[in-house]
Structure 1
Amino acid sequence: MKVRDHISKAVEAHKTEFSFEILPPLKGQNIDTIFKNIDPLMEFNPPFIDVTYHREEYIYKEREDGLLEKKVVRKRPGTVGICAAIQNKYDVDAVPHVLCGGFSKEDTENFLIDMDFLGIENVMALRGDAVKSETYFKPNKNGNVYAQDLVEQIIDLNHGKYLDEDLLNSSQTDFCIGVAGYPEKHLEAPSMESDIHFLKKKLEAGACYVVTQMFFDNQKYFDFVEKCRAAGITKPIIPGLKPLATKKQLNMIPQRFSVDVPDALVMEVVNCKTPDAVRQVGIEWCIQQSKELKAAGVPVLHYYSMGKSDNIRQIAEAVF
């Protein structure tokens, strides 16, 4: 089932659905690590589960001759297999993330063909972030540069248009496409207005819904939605939430994601004496965010689990 249809059903029923995002396990681990984190959340009946995709990274190893050798590694492979396993085991729609970075257009087309063969109907189209070795994002050679380009390629496949224009009687895919939105603007965007302008372009290209970057102040989300509606964006905007879990995140999240942490939350965390106390503060803050958003009638609350389900489960128990 398409994510847009799940959203429509929730709106018609005046209901808020629960969904979440998982990371593939690190290379060398098996899929049981994924199932152990998904199992405790299934009682909340998520209509879909997102599975992230991770770009290759570059590491340098010293050779016997003393020179440095550049190696390309992918620390979290398995998105395709995990999506297939989720749909088979849980009968829940899986939403794989598809990136511009690390893919040529040919790679993207083959990835999408695999998804189509597996009966996966939904994808999340993202540009992707810069890797550690890059100051700024660099697209792959012969790859899509922006998420809008990626959306356009997926829509081409939905129309039966492949990179090889000589194909005859080519079949059409039927992907529902999600894209990212940034309530506090993308860290590379020069202004909120320009960021919303390009979000609108992604939706006009064929994307069906938006999932936001994490935020810790609901007013940021409400203001973002209002600005999007004023700009002519009418498609659903799903709030993405992440409970704060460690003191280190007070510095890491603003720096890495360009997201503000409210002073009240900062002081609560700073005053905590133990890691468990910090984690509980993050849970309680996210519960209050969730309840306010649910009361405002959002059709889906989407949680970034980061491979851990215990805190997400506590939040879901209090909200759904």
Structure 2
Amino acid sequence: MKLTSAYQSADCTISFELFPPKTTAGLDKLCQNVDRLTDFGPKFMTCTYGAGGSSQGMTLDVLRQVKSRTNLPVASHLTCVGATVPQLCDFLQQATDAGVDYIVALRGDPPQGSDRFVQTEGGLQYANELVELIRERFNHFGILVAGYPEVHQEAPDAQTDLTNLKRKVDAGADVVVTQLFYDNADFYRFRDDCDRAGITVPIVPGILPVTNFAQAKRIATMCKSAIPASLEDAFAKCQNADQEFEIGVEHARRQTIDLMENGVPGIHYYVLNKTEAAERLLQGLSFAV
């Protein structure tokens, strides 16, 4: 299935993001969770890999398993970090041989302890260059790229960030999937800005059902995503983990319903290889089939 066709329905399409487990037992558990997530009718699943390119092999193993068990299209993340152009092409060939359908093309984060990305000698500096490489040499892949409703942490301003996003789309990206956010108003503003900038590909919100206050704070800090005061207050009043779970799931469910009512083409869920929160927040909702 072509990536763009996943978003041609009048209804909302969903997809899930996984990450490669570190053990065989972890892979077995992930496969069980994938089976449960499939019950909600996702159109595809994606898989990340570790910082600096680590666990790429396991990423392809996960995607082979997912495709075998579900017959769904699958997408692999790919970043410019620590890789030359020949190494990027080698991975893209491995992904082709593994039956991967789509690539999530990213520049990648700076190394831990640094706030600046350093281009690898013989490698690429920007995500739009990676999109161009894929289009030129591996054009059979559908391509997803990242968008940032609250502005990428390295961008000097929102307009520069938007210009960079349009550069990725103009290079050949099919779909924009956003960084996580906790306030839908940030997404709607971003979507309007994309429209004014002439970005016409689907803009798909990314949602993380956070069920732990400490985790929420940590992830928000890393991603430069603001936690609404009302949500922070609700978490602060919790007396146990069960209450935190309920609050996080309910917030993500409200986000989901509001996004669907406001006509998003799809929603991409960062499920952290778990199913409990996703199952609870998606229960009873109707998505594209």
TM-score normalized by the length of structure 2: 0.94
Question: Which one of the candidate residues 79, 94, 98 is aligned to 2:74?
Answer: 94
**Any residues of structure 2 matched to 1:124-143 within 5 Å, and which?**
124-143=104-123
Which amino acid in 2 is paired with 1:32?
A: D
Could you tell me how far apart the structure 2 residues matched to 1:53 and 1:75 are?
5
The one-letter amino acid of 1:142's match is G
Counterpart for residue 131 of structure 2? 151
Aligned to 1:32: 28
- C-alpha distance in 2 between matches for 1:56 and 1:231: 32
Q: Note the C-alpha offset of 1:78.
A: 0.6
Residue of structure 2 in register with 1:245 after alignment: 211
**Contact 1:15-1:299 within 8 A present in 2 as well:** yes
Partner of 1:31, secondary structure, is helix
Residue from 77, 97, 103 that aligns with 1:117:
97
Question: Can you give the 5+ residue segments of structure 2 that lack an aligned partner in the other structure?
Answer: none
1:281 to 247, 263, 271: 247
1:183–1:278 Cα change, 3 Å: same
Q: CA deviation at 1:38?
A: 1.1
Partner Cα distance (1:187, 1:100) in 2: 18
1:184 and 2:150 aligned: yes
Q: Kindly provide the CA deviation profile for residues 4-35 of structure 1, in whole angstroms up to 9, marking residues without a partner as x.
A: 11112x2xxx2112211001102564521220
How far the C-alpha of 1:45 sits from its partner, in A, is 1.1
Moved over 2 A (4+): 27-31, 74-77, 117-121, 133-141
1:250-274: per-residue Cα shift (whole Å, max 9, x none)?
Answer: 4312321000000000000000000
Deviation at 1:2? 2.0
Instruction: Quote the Cα distance in structure 1 between the aligned partners of 2:36 and 2:83.
Output: 34
2 CA distance for matches of 1:201 and 1:116? 25
Shift of 1:313: 1.1
SS of 1:50's equivalent in the other structure is: strand
Tell me the C-alpha RMSD between the 2 structures: 1.6
2:49–2:56: 8 Å Cα contact kept in structure 1? yes
| Identity across the alignment (%) | 31
Query: Which amino acid counterpart does residue 35 of structure 1 have in structure 2?
Result: C
Q: How big is each residue's C-alpha offset from its partner over 1:129-175, in whole Å with a ceiling of 9 and x where there is no partner?
A: 123243422233321111111101101114xxxxxxxxxxxxxx411
Q: Which residue is 1:19 aligned to?
A: 15
Q: Deviations over 1:231-264 (max 9, x none)?
A: 1111100000011221213431232100000000
Output the CA distance in 1 between the equivalents of 2:96 and 2:275: 29
Matches within 5 A, 1:259-274: 259-274=225-240
Shift of 1:77: 4.8
Counterparts of 2:146 and 2:43 in 1: how far apart (Å)? 19
C-alpha separation in 2, matches of 1:303 and 1:47: 12
Q: Quick one: structure 1 residues 202 and 75, their matched pair in 2 at CA, closer, same or farther if it must change by over 3 Å?
A: closer
The 1-side partners of 2:185 and 2:44 are apart by 26
Give, in whole Å, the separation in 2 of the partners of 1:28 and 1:138. 34
Contact residue 218 and residue 289 of structure 1 kept, 8 A:
yes
The higher radius of gyration belongs to: 1
Say if 1:25 and 1:76, in contact at 8 Å, map to a contact too. Answer: no
- Classify the secondary structure of the residue corresponding to 1:140: coil
Tell me which amino acid in the other structure corresponds to 1:110: D
One-letter identity of the residue aligned with 1:224: F
Asked if the contact 1:22–1:305 (Cα under 8 Å) also holds between the matched residues in 2, the reply is yes
- Cα distance in 1 for residues equivalent to 2:214 and 2:87: 36
Partners of 1:27 and 1:75 within 8 A in 2 = no
Indicate whether 1:193 and 2:189 are aligned.
Answer: no
Contact 1:27 1:76 in 2 (8 A): no
* Cα distance, 1:276 vs structure 2: 1.5
Matched, 1:306 2:272: yes
d(CA) in 1 for partners of 2:178 and 2:243? Answer: 27
Q: Distance in 1 between matches of 2:271 and 2:161?
A: 26
1:43 corresponds to which residue? 39
Which amino acid counterpart does residue 24 of structure 1 have in structure 2?
P
